[in-house]
Structure 1
Amino acid sequence: MGEQEEENFQRSAKLLLEELVEDPDTRELGDYLEKYYMKRANVWALCYRKHLGINTNMYLEALHKKIKYSYLNGKKVRRLDLAINVLMKITRDIVFERIIKLAGNVETRKMKNIRISHVASEKIEHSDISSLKPVVVGK
């Protein structure tokens, strides 16, 4: 519910719950929403959070866009098995990206040796450095 006015939100929520509870097929969903969500609407409804400066839907919308255009090529999926397959692929890719991000700061042995040599070279006094003449071979 993206309603920004509290009165409109309350009215829409009440109508939705009435419709859900009246229909035997959706009665359980209506009861669930009323019990767990509507009593805490001030925590999740946009009309109560508009002055916080954040919209938590941004991450969800970005994920939806990624799934729709990167994995589904903008097409709707009507088969559940294909949708599950796509969700498994995106989960794999997200986990892999996270592992790379976390492991990105791990120093390899070669880089560690280079860093140690560099730190040691910074401690060399300038007076200890001498110039060498180049050696010409083959003349």
Structure 2
Amino acid sequence: YSEKLKEEKYDIDEEYYRPYFEKNSVLNGFFNFLNKIFEVEFEKASDAKAWDKDVLVYNIKENSKVFARIYIDLEAKKEKRGGAWMNNWHTYHRNSKGEIQLPTAYIVGNFPQSTEETPSLLRHSDVVTLFHEMGHALHHLLSKIEE
């Protein structure tokens, strides 16, 4: 209904803007923005294993040191439940040996799938959803409060 209202009242068609919101470009732009705001870097974690080949895994670094990790699983799959969400996997804490457990989170979405010919193109509302879920993830990942 909200899409029809936007189209009727404001003459906005989300499909028209999809080519401007290619999934990887949106992520890279968001990571650059977060770098400017929080002075953190997102670096692909080449050593990480994930539950699906399309899951993107990033180490989050501050002053060249890894302090968190995020798994990003955005493309729709038939075995996924609908919607988008963020969950924390590990919380920042010190174990009994005094070692720090790095926080880890994951973001899951159901955005358009990419193919070999076509990248995943998001709607504006998908971008808003991604930023919303990333906000939850950052709240978890950037916290240094010990449990």
TM-score normalised per structure 2: 0.23
Could you say which structure has the larger radius of gyration? 1
The structure where helix makes up a greater share of residues is: 1
TM-score normalised per structure 1: 0.24
The structure where strand makes up a greater share of residues is: 2
Task: Determine which structure has greater relative contact order: mean sequence separation of CA pairs < 8 Å that are 6+ residues apart, divided by chain length.
Answer: 2
